[in-house]
Amino acid sequence: MTTRNLVTTVVVTAACTLAVAVLDTFMPAQSAGVVYLAGVLYVSSRLGLWPGLATCALSALAFNFFFLPPRYTFVISSSGDWLTLALYGVTAVVTSGLAARVRDQAAEAERRAHESELALRFATSVARRSELEPTLDELGAEAGAALGARGGVIVLDDVPAGPREIPLFSGDRRIGRLELVEPPAILDANTAARVGAMLGGLIAIAQERDRLAAAR
């Protein structure tokens, strides 16, 4: 877990503890403790499952220390308090898992929408020109930017791709590579493979179009 996520976990737990302390003057702490679930849900939906589980564990410790008798200790003297803490823990874990799943599904939908838009731009660039060669610079720049690099250069040959390059295939046939200009420190391999497949397929279609045009 990153430092940023850890800080968020601590801050959210502290805010929930303060809110429960205020509510504790009006209602039993066991009822006010539901505020911690809201904190777990917030962290899970924003940061994912593991930060949500960390918030769950830290919230359980804070709730026990500040609000369950004897207060300001980690001792649990009542079986009812054990049950309360266990119920909160189970609920928080389930809530965290559900929130993280919804977050991942939303991120996946956004990624697919972005890649569909990218594929449409690639196809439009290829279709609006009668020849492939003038389109390669535009395609390389768009593909590189989509992968977080400053740009990209498409090279059509059968040389294997290097560490800063994305292989381009049409089926099982190697047709080229995308050289990334100032690539990001961490490159998502799955996204890079999908972008490479999109480019490879479109370039192969454009090459066949150019071949048929030359034959005519």
Instruction: Say if residue 58 is in the same domain as residue 150.
Output: no
How do residues 26-64 score in pLDDT, each as one tens digit?
887 777 778 888 888 888 778 877 888 888 888 888 888
**Measured distance CA(197)–CA(17) in Å, rounded:** 50
| Residue 205: domain span | 129-215
**Measured distance CA(28)–CA(26) in Å, rounded:** 7
Per the CB < 8 A criterion, the answer to whether 137 and 128 are in contact is no
Residue 74 is classified by DSSP as: S
Instruction: Say if residue 46 is in the same domain as residue 90.
Output: yes
Instruction: Say if residue 140 is in the same domain as residue 207.
Output: yes
Element (H, E) at 167: strand 165-170
Instruction: Say if residue 55 is in the same domain as residue 87.
Output: yes
* Residues found in the chain: 216
**Measured distance CA(29)–CA(20) in Å, rounded:** 7
Task: Quote the longest CA-to-CA distance of the chain.
Answer: 90
How do residues 153-184 score in pLDDT, each as one tens digit?
888 888 888 878 889 888 788 888 998 888 88
- The β-bridge partners of 181 are 151
